[in-house]
Structure 1
Amino acid sequence: MVAAPSVQIAVLRGRDDECRALRDLLDHPAGGGALLFQGEPGTGRTALVDRAHRYAPDRLVLAATALPGEATLPYAGLQRLLDPVLDRADTLPAQQRGLFRRVMAGAGCPPGQRLALSMAVRGLLAAVARDRPVLCTLDDLDLGDRPTAEVLAFVARRVHRLPVAVVLTGATDTDALTGGIPTHRLRPLDESQSRTLLADLLPTGLTAPVAAVLTGLARGNPQALVDLATALTPGQARGEEPPPARVPADGALARGYRIRLGRLPTDARRLLLLAALDGESDPATLLRAARAAGTAVAALAPAETAGLVRVGPQRVVFPQPLARAMVESTATLAERRTAHLLLARVLDGPGHRLRRTLHLAAAAVGPDPALAAALETAAVADRVGYPTASVALQRAAELTDQPDLAATRLVAAARYAWSAGQPQRARLLLRRLPATPVHPVVAGRAELLRGELELRCGTIPAALAALLAAAEALAGADRTAALGALVRAGEAACFAGDQFRYAEVARRAEALRRPAAPAGTELLSAYLTGVAATLRGDHERGGPALRRAVVLGGQLTGPALTPAALTLAAAAGLLVGVDRATHRLADRAVELARARGELSTLPRALELRAAAEYWLGRHEAAAASSREGLRVARAGGQTNCAHVHLGMLAVLAAIRADRDDSLRRIREIGEGPGPGSRPYALAQWALSVLDLTDGRPDDAAARLVALARPGTGRGQVLIQVMATPYLVEAAAHTAHRPAALAALAVFDRWVTSTASPSRRALSARCHALLAPRGGTTAEAEFRTALRLHPAEAGPFERARTELLFGRELRRGRRPRDAREHLHRARETFTCLGVTTWAELAGAELRAAGESVGGPDLPVARVLTGQQLRIAQLVAEGATNREIAARLFLSTRTVDHHLRNIFHRLGIRSRTELARAIT
């Protein structure tokens, strides 16, 4: 086994608030107070008590842990807690002293004297605290005798004026007993905290897939993570052996649950096991099962009182995340088998076929071909959720005695697990395939699924290799599946920035093309043909094929109507600029994926919806789609999709000039994606937009030029095309101008093939920026762009065109004409809440001679807009040459402005100017 450290972990992960509360309580010895920590077993209650002891080196510590074995002995816990200070009872008043000593001797406390006893205990602690502040702790107060808990709860509510601190812990059902005590409910750790705790426990390392399995099993319970890490073998830690399927039954957490369950009556434990084993847990089934077991459902009441289960009108719920699993794992094999058979007997209705068969399968011993076939039939025909279908087919494979059939069912179980958003489970099921060769078609489908998993969650080179191998294996038997593999292979090539490999994908797809193919198959073929032609710049062939894919996507019905097919049609629509159709298809894919529970396709569908919303000018909607896509991708382990959504969020934040948010998203991407990948390209695009708004056009152009290398098929050509308007704006008057001209030629060929008004407007704006300054061509192109900007699209890009046109007119010494456009731009940016762009428009207005509100600086009242901008750049440390480059001025003009600035402000140096600005 892997040696998890036995020493106390220095940091309690996910318990910062609780540790802070303990410090606040104990840092002032003269003060008093109480804290109660509630949580299910294993959430760190005892660790917090230990932390309290560590925080109180100058206090007298009175500590006890409630013992279930003494639960029937009144005040047994109180006697153990106060044993070190019993000799101080002489300080109590005579009546209290006598009562206290009788109770500690085991004589009990009459009901009418419980208040007196509680006051005696408080008085005893006060007397002890005169010599030294006291810390009094009782762990698991709900497991011991109730009279002790009642007395300590009473005292805890009345020590705030004494140098006495009381720290109690208990389960989540102690509110009636401990009301009025400041309480912290210990929540499950989140995924990040769970992974960090695993790193603490296993510093030698743990593979990411295994870590994901362990965090899923632990459900945020720290003790479960400790138990899993302790029981892990070296092979499991490296991912070479199957990981654990459940929290160890001999671990500390299981022992804690056994204690809690052992306090329940036998009938309550039996019904609790029945509820735990029946996954759907409806009250009607539990009622019939209770009758079949010879008891009544009322026998479950003690378990409800203990907070282990809650029976509602429609469902039986286990409130604590791990309770169901622990009830099952702590039962014996014989108890579980008996319960499964009983549930199968009572689930005799026609709507319970799969549930009944699953219980029979759970009780089966050895291969059972008939039961395996019944499981498969029920899983496919009963339209159950993907998780349940995956479990059913996995068990069917285990009961199958024919290797090829077992492999087929295992691959189907893995496919259902992937559809349900459980990639780690899908990987583990694929690893169970026999090492000996299985049928080529089954092997091809397994390889296809491996490729999809790698594409979304793993390494792109491995995905591409697996998908091409799957396409070859399936070509002769399942042409549609082979084409689907090629579509994914093409996506992998584009994700990695290796578009040149799409030619190979297209050649393979062409060999699979057949006349009069079904709509779903024709959609795949049309998409592959269209993308391949578009990537090589052949829009005359690519455009019609992609538009055909869009039409086919809108006509899909029956089994061909899937989220994946709609997503593919949406991707085609994006490439031909039919943004509204793209949005409809992507939105329909999102809704269908949600309705069917196909979580594996949801992040990609949301990615395409966000892209369509970007082109439609709906930036806020695009950000919302990307945020949802990020959440779903992270929840489903789709790292690569998550990185794409982070990149899109970074771009959208940069366009809003929200530097902090954009950089935060880029940091979240990290160093995982390679330099040629799509997430990397999106991050570079975002950084270039920030460079542009900060007045660094040369840096912005350099980033965007490096995104792709035309003619080689390497790099992110599609991202560079999307970012071309920013590239042209940044490079128009820098050394990168030739590259901008080349990028604009590619952009224009694409725009011409799409006939999209918004893209044509951007193209006209780009041509205006590259036209000779002050000429009629630039003005004509700007006016064309303003005319083409769709009225129904978002106003942001139109406002950007107004700003750029106004700036051009001002620099052409036409300030009066410029102000009209700059006012509209500033007004639109202000309404949209993009203050940085509004400030840029305001600065241009001031430079055009308009008096507008500016920065809240004294110098702003003295300087013109142009002078103020130069002064700010000087304050930032820019040289005259750098200022000239940023503001598209000559160095001589900057010198002239700077002399006037010095004269107006009555200063003599750049240092004085920086001081005046700041």
Structure 2
Amino acid sequence: MIDASLVQIAGLHGRATQRQAIINLIDGAAGGTGGALLLHGELGLGKTALLDQGSVIATAHPAGFTVLTAKCLPDEADLPYAVLHRLLEPLAGQLHLLPTRQKEVLTRALSGEGCPEPDRLVLCQAVVRLLGTASAHHPLFCRLDDVHAADRPSLDALAFAARRVQPYRVAMLFASEATATVSDVPALRLTPLDPADSLALLADVIPDGLPGDAARPLARLARGNPQALVDLAAALTPGQRYGEEPLPAELPLDGVLGRTYRDRLHRLPADTRWLLLLAAADVALDQPGLVRAAAASGTQLRALAPAELAGLIRVGAHAVDFPQQLLRTLVYQQAPLARRRAAHLLLSRAISTGPEQRLRRAVHLAAAADGPDEPLAAELEQTAAEVGGYASASAALERAAQLSDAGSSDGRSNAANRLVAAARYAWLAGDPQRARRLLFRIGESGSDRAVQGRVWLLSGEIALRVGVAGEALDRLLTAAESLAPTDRRLALEALLRAGEAACSCGDYHRYGEIARRAAALRQPGAPDAVLLAQEHIAGVAATFHGRHHAAVAHLRRAVTIATRSADAAALTVGSAASLLAADDVAAGRLAARAVARARFSGDVSVLPRALELLTYAHYWLDPTGAAATAAARDGLTAAWESGQENSAGIHRGMLAVLAAIRGDRTGALWHGQFLAEAQPVRQRPWALGQWALAVLDLVEGRNPDAAARLYALARPGTGRGQLVEQVMATPYLVEAVAHCGASGVVAPSGVAVPGLATGSTTLVRVRAVRALVVFDRWASGTGNPGRRAVSARCHALLAPRGSGVAEDYFRDALRLHTAGGAEFERARTELLFGQELRRSRRPRAAREHLHRAVETFQRLGVTVWTQQAVAELRAAGATVPASRTLLGSVPWHRATDTPGFVADVPVSTIGGAAPTVDVRTLTAQQLRIARLVVEGATNREVAARLHLSPRTVDHHMRNIFHRLGLRSRIELARALR
């Protein structure tokens, strides 16, 4: 057997399944069981690379394969047995080993004399016999590329052999495009690479990397096609590599894909190319439209058949599609200009006369225009605003800008306004790179201040979702200043986005300036869009200044205004206001409406934001439920598809937090690691990732690390950092600090905490109290019983242990939870209250609360919290069976990966063989203690982390050694690592 990892070809990503199938094929042939496999898929997906890898695997195999290679060429498709000749030529010296009849027939075929029909079976038998005979000395690996271009007689003979090589040491690997098959030969279809593999391939072909967010737009443009990615990388200019020029909008025409498609187009008849041009000139063309256009030009529709058979175009009942956008571009651009104009004029006449087709007709007339045409440009501008999708409207307005008269100031102004509108439509359609390119063309000359204000507004909004939030804030403030004299609504929209940018980059101290500018734009009788922005900004500013009662009044007015709107963006503003006012149900309702409106209207730009707010609403209602995770996953997909890298980071961050709260360590670390590698430090996605890691720390008993991470998120006294995320995570911060005891909190490795030096023993209890004050004011100001319950729980944790004050706060929290809903938070309060009662030597009272916590955690399916509650329940003297619900549903990992999860196979670590132990004989508490000991903690340190006495830990350690049959900590480390 061969280890696939030893023979991977650099840059071959996302093809693990196909690689393993090739290895299995070769291993089978080496062992005496021959076989064949067909790899098929569209051009550029990596079929030839997999054939190359198959050759490498076969050559490196200990059995010593002989590799036979044949590439099928279109120029030889009419030459019978050309492919067979190319493949079998290295075996010509072994023809004499065949039976006489077979040798004669095969020799004639390979020498160009052909094969009569009655001898075809003999010929096929001769091919099988020759391969089998040659494989007796060394196994054979036969690779055939581009099978779809093979001459038919060769393909028939090789397919016959592929079905009959099982008794021989022969492996046959075919590669073909999606349209070709080889009967009864197992096939594996190659699909486009996923985003992660596309980015990995780009990193391979551009070792120096790309600036900022440049890699992801290129990956989207390539649509998962590896060759397209390689072509794009090779075509980048130095300016594009360094972020000084806009990225390409299309695949390069002179790349490998472009040259291959161009060659295929040149082989087609003229009538076929004409029909392809008609299809390429109108992305909305359907089958009836193509039939009408063909008839109008006097061309028979059957002329399209060669292109369909070659897989260059797909004609369905309702659409005419090219498998690659590059192919559409090539068909169009390779046609002479006069031919393109003729196609557009023909299509303008062939399109139906309904008003819904007005934009399409205007676009075709504009494409046929040969100079500036202001009436036609105005027609395009008007129809783009009235009909058509955002993408088509953007294209129409770009063409309208080109038709504007550049010789006059009015014409230049019209062109600039049309380009801004085209960029806005491109952004709404989910194409930020196209929007940026259109804005880049406007420049700073030849346009007035209002136009420049709109440019700054859109570029700032794009930077907020795609680029650097700090840059977005400056652009949006500039936009507001430019727009304020002429367009109050757009100026307030810019300030609204600027406020979001300030929060995203952690510059909360700048929100006061934003609020002052918004207040200066107030006027009586303003429309809803203006009032919504003003009330929202005023409410957020009051919230950040701690004036929560005033804030809630503004925020509720904003919610009322937003509820009246049918605009997705306005609904997201209302949802955000509801979240700040702690009205989670209303926030979820408005966010869900925003999602529905965005999808209905095709406004891709606002969809990730709407799903982000929906995720937050579900988080507050039930962080362990499926709804929050589903919304975050949908948001991540929407953000990726629309190129919104910052939004994608936020959704990944929330997925990490939700996974950590559920106890899904693998999921939390997966998303957290991505954020650590791809997101700027101190911005919102980073803060969410740190929050997730802190929850894992808390769950796994690393309370000082958890506290330090959460304290590092923001510095409330300065208004810097991720204050909102820190407020949301305050309950975990308080819990971590309360559990630290006298051990103190130090900065964990890799986490810079202002005022907390790595290795110091500085306590952060005072800082936790300050964070709780902020949370408490918010909870009290909004009046939300769920928030107030959590606040009361935090006060209980910071109160003196065993005091009546702590118990009163816990009971207040449970009373408020009854009104607040959230089962998970109530169960956490029951767990913490039970811990408090047990440690105050009141086990009977503790068991009541711990039983309820266990029941709720089990019902919610959060195993890690169930285990903690069970451990406390056992410590309180209750008998709890180690049921399948508690242990059997949990995957067994290494102890260094997840608390309480250990390896079920011996592992050698410190030295010598690891003892075989059954850790399921340990209680959940004993597993936690054992893991901490393996990490190097002393009994006293374990006691401090788990809030036990050192004497209790000593007792547990004796039981651990007894149950596992071990004698020392070294043996324990060997067994559990």
d(CA) in 1 for partners of 2:923 and 2:312? 72
Secondary structure in structure 2 of the residue aligned to 1:774: coil
* 1:196-595 to 2 correspondences below 5 Å: 196-207=200-211, 210-319=214-323, 322-350=326-354, 351-382=356-387, 384-401=388-405, 402-556=411-565, 561-595=566-600
User: CA shift at 1:243, angstroms?
Assistant: 4.3
Identity %: 57
Secondary structure at 2:442's aligned position in 1?
coil
What letter is aligned with 2:807? E
When structure 1 is superposed on structure 2, of 333-342 and 894-903 the one drifting more is: 894-903
Q: Does 1:762 align with 2:766?
A: no
State the AA in 2 paired with 1:815: P
Cα deviation code 1:583-623 (max 9, x no counterpart): 11111111111111111111111111111111112532111
Deviates more, 1:51-60 or 1:508-517: 51-60
Mapped to 1, the partners of 2:820 and 2:869 lie a distance apart of 23
Q: What TM-score results when the alignment is normalised by the length of structure 2?
A: 0.87
- Range 54-63 or range 768-777, more displaced: 54-63
Deviations 1:120-173 (A, max 9, x none): 222233344445443333322322421121111111221222233333222212
Indicate which of 711, 715, 733 corresponds to 1:727.
Answer: 733
Match of 2:912 in 1: none
CA deviation profile, 1:367-386 (whole Å, cap 9, x unmatched): 2222222211111111x111
Q: Deviations over 1:91-121 (max 9, x none)?
A: 3333333333333344433333322221122
> Which moved further from structure 2: 318-327 or 430-439?
318-327
Would the alpha carbon gap of residues 275 and 126 (structure 1) be closer, same or farther in structure 2, given more than 3 Å must change? same
Per-residue CA deviations over 1:308-348 (Å, capped at 9, x if unaligned) read 33322222233456543443344444433332222122114
| Aligned CA distance change for structure 1 residues 87 and 452 (closer, same or farther; 3 Å) | same
Which shifted more, 611-620 or 496-505?
611-620
1:674 positional shift: 4.3
Equivalent-residue separation in structure 1 for 2:400 and 2:313 (angstroms) = 30
Native 8 Å contact 1:618 1:793 kept in 2: no
Counterpart residue number, 2:190: 186
Q: Given residue 679 of structure 1, which amino acid in structure 2 is its aligned partner?
A: P
Q: Distance in 2 between matches of 1:729 and 1:218?
A: 48
Residue pair 2:51, 2:143 contacting (<8 A) in 1 also: yes
1:354 and 1:791 map into 2 onto residues whose CA distance is 56
Q: Deviations over 1:269-316 (max 9, x none)?
A: 322222232201211111101101212323323333333333222222
The reply to whether residue 811 of structure 1 matches residue 839 of structure 2 is yes
For 1:161 and 1:917, the matched residues in 2 are separated by 48
Instruction: Kindly state the Cα deviation for residue 421 of structure 1 after the two structures are TM-superposed.
Output: 1.3
Aligned CA distance change for structure 1 residues 398 and 211 (closer, same or farther; 3 Å): farther
Contact 1:40 1:320 in 2 (8 A): no
Name the stretch that deviates more: 736-745 or 825-834. 736-745
Once residues 352 and 916 of structure 1 are traced to their aligned partners in structure 2, the CA distance between those partners, rounded to angstroms, is 73
Q: For residues 833-856 of structure 1, what are the alpha-carbon distances to aligned partners after superposition, in whole Å with 9 as ceiling and x for unaligned?
A: 111111111111111111112498
Deviates more, 1:633-642 or 1:253-262: 253-262
Question: Can you list the C-alpha shifts for 1:849-895, whole angstroms capped at 9, x where unaligned?
Answer: 11112498999999998778656644553213212312334546656
Partner of 1:3: none
Q: Deviations over 1:170-202 (max 9, x none)?
A: 221222xx1211222222233333343334334
> How far 1:460 sits from its partner (Å)?
1.7
How far apart are residue 71 of structure 1 and its match?
Answer: 2.4
Alpha-carbon separation, structure 1, partners of 2:401 and 2:417: 8
1:656/1:105 CA distance change after superposition, 3 Å: closer
Measure the CA separation in 2 of the matches of 1:592 and 1:904: 61
Are the structure 2 counterparts of residues 408 and 889 from structure 1 closer, same or farther at C-alpha, using a change threshold of 3 Å? same
Aligned residue in 1 for 2:51? 49
- Aligned with residue 883 of structure 1, among 942, 948, 958: 942
Q: Which amino acid letter does the alignment assign opposite residue 603 of structure 1? A: P
Contact 1:249–1:330, Cα closer than 8 Å, also in 2: no
Deviations 1:702-743 (A, max 9, x none): 332333323321222222222222222222364433223222
2:768 is aligned with 1:740? yes
CA distance in 2, matches of 1:675, 1:78: 60
Map of 1:606 onto structure 2: 611
Which piece of structure 1 moves more, 758-767 or 67-76?
67-76
Structure 2 partner of 1:4: none
476-485 vs 133-142, greater mean Cα deviation:
133-142
Instruction: Tell me, in whole angstroms, the C-alpha distance in 1 between the residues paired with 2:920 and 2:91.
Output: 76
Q: Report SS of the residue matched to 1:365.
A: coil
Aligned to 1:705: 711
State the Cα distance separating 1:53 from its structure 2 match: 3.8
Q: TM-score, with normalisation over the residues of structure 1?
A: 0.92
Amino acid at match of 2:938: T
Unaligned runs of 5+ in 2: 1-7, 406-410, 742-762, 888-899, 901-916
Q: Does 1:637 align with 2:643?
A: yes
Contact residue 41 and residue 257 of structure 1 kept, 8 A = no
Q: Does 1:117 align with 2:123?
A: yes
Distance 1:608 1:228, change over 3 A: closer
Secondary structure of the 2:491 match is: helix
What amino acid sits opposite 1:118 in the alignment?
Answer: C
Secondary structure of 2:124's aligned partner = helix
Q: Distance in 1 between matches of 2:308 and 2:379?
A: 36
Please point out which of 794, 814, 821 is paired with 1:786: 814
What's the offset of the Cα at 1:746?
1.9
Of 211-220 and 530-539, the range deviating more from structure 2: 211-220
Q: Which runs of 5+ in 1 are unaligned?
A: 1-7
Instruction: Indicate if the aligned counterparts of 2:249 and 2:434 stay in contact, CA closer than 8 A.
Output: no
Q: CA deviation at 1:790?
A: 4.0
Whether the 8 Å CA contact 1:758–1:789 is kept in 2: the answer is yes
Structure 2 vs 1, CA of residues 836 and 63 (structure 1 numbering), >3 Å: closer, same or farther?
Answer: closer
- What's the C-alpha RMSD, in Å, of the aligned pairs? 3.0
2:662 to 656, 667, 671: 656
Alpha-carbon distance between aligned partners in 2 of 1:728 and 1:163, rounded to the nearest angstrom:
68
SS in 2 for 1:789: helix
**2:854 alignment partner, one of 801, 812, 826:** 826
Deviations along 1:237-263, one digit per CA (max 9) or x if unpaired, are: 334445444333344323322443345
The alignment status of 1:164 with 2:170, answered yes or no, reads: yes
The secondary structure found in structure 2 opposite 1:165 is strand
* Aligned counterparts of 2:303 and 2:928: Cα–Cα separation in 1: 79
1:17 maps to 17
CA contact (8 A) 2:624 2:661 kept: no
